Amino acid sequence: MTGRTLQEELKQSKPFHSLEEEAFLNIARTHAVLEHALAQALKPFDITPTQYNVLRILRGAGADGLCRNEVGERLVRRVPDVTRLLDRMEELSLVGRVRGAEDRRYVTARITRQGLALLERLDQEICRIHRTQLGHVDRKLLRSLIDLLTAVRGGQAG
């Protein structure tokens, strides 16, 4: 089953300027559609997709936690001020931070019990959303999509 083309979705009568433009806009549109559904699912929990990403990162880091820079490097979508993001999450009691004993400038962020509990509540819902969004796509096509997107990112600096 095929969906409408991007040109049809956008009600665009003129052709795209290039195949690269059409590919870029398809990626951007798909991202917007997928992320909107995620944002809507997270809304009742008063967190954003970026905050959800931080919680997943810190859960994966375990008891060691991570410094601000390491969190920023692992984010799916880069944000300009990771410190402020962690500040907001600390205010929500989802993240805790501790200064290093030897180097007071080094601050380690860790997920709190409350953050872990929230993720546990969200895990099944987020899996359901992913299945709804992508479960209709053949596994082989999904693998090809992953490989294609990896190739696109591979041609980018930073």
Segments of the chain with pLDDT less than 70: 1-2, 100-101, 103-104, 157-158
Tokens of 13: 């009568």
The C-alpha atoms of residue 112 and residue 150 are separated, in whole angstroms, by 33
Distance between CA atoms of residues 59 and 57, nearest Å: 6
Stated pTM of the model: 0.85
Q: What is the CATH number of the domain that holds 27?
A: 1.10.10.10
What number of residues does the chain have?
Answer: 158
Q: Is position 24 within any domain?
A: yes
Question: Is 98 contained in some domain?
Answer: yes
**Number of folded domains in the chain?**
1
